[in-house]
Amino acid sequence: MQPQGMRLAVQRYLEKEKSGVFELQIKRVSDRRTHRQNSYLWKLCEILAAEIGYESKESVLAIAMENRGMGKYVQWKGRERFERDSSALKDKEQFGRIIDEMHEMAAFLNEWREPSEHLILPGKELGMT
């Protein structure tokens, strides 16, 4: 959002909310993740979901992001659950950390497997540009 639009959005919000404690974080969005990184990430999620036995690729992404501290815990229906950040808002470096976590997950799965049964993920270089 451009500065003028951001200023107007904050002003409208504060006019609506008459009281309370607020937190505002402003961060310049630059060097966002690439389309290739995104496609590569979802391929890794698909492969790992099948290996772990999850139906949802999103569950694998949530685990990776939780392990990297990219989200927060919230109370929901009397239980605490992890709510991950939006991966679309991550820059190339942050996105790379998520991909690294997925490779670490695969390495963990391989620790108890025979070498002939190791999970081999596609190379990281496929998602880096």
Domain membership flag for residue 20:
no
Per-residue pLDDT for 124 more than 80? no
pLDDT at site 32: 75
Higher pLDDT, residue 8 or 109? 109
Domain membership flag for residue 4:
no
Whether this prediction's pTM lies above 0.85 is answered by: no
Q: Which structural domain range is residue 73 located in?
A: 30-127
Per-residue pLDDT for 59 more than 60? yes
pLDDT at site 29: 59
If we measure between CA atoms, which residue out of 56, 27, 24, 22 comes closest to residue 42?
Answer: 56
Q: How confident is the model at residue 28 (pLDDT cuts 50, 70, 90)?
A: low
Domain membership flag for residue 25:
no
Per-residue pLDDT for 129 more than 50? no
Domain membership flag for residue 53:
yes
Domain count, the chain: 1
Domain membership flag for residue 92:
yes
Instruction: Measure CA 40 to chain center.
Output: 13
DSSP string, 43-66: HHHHHHHHHHT-S-HHHHHHHHHH
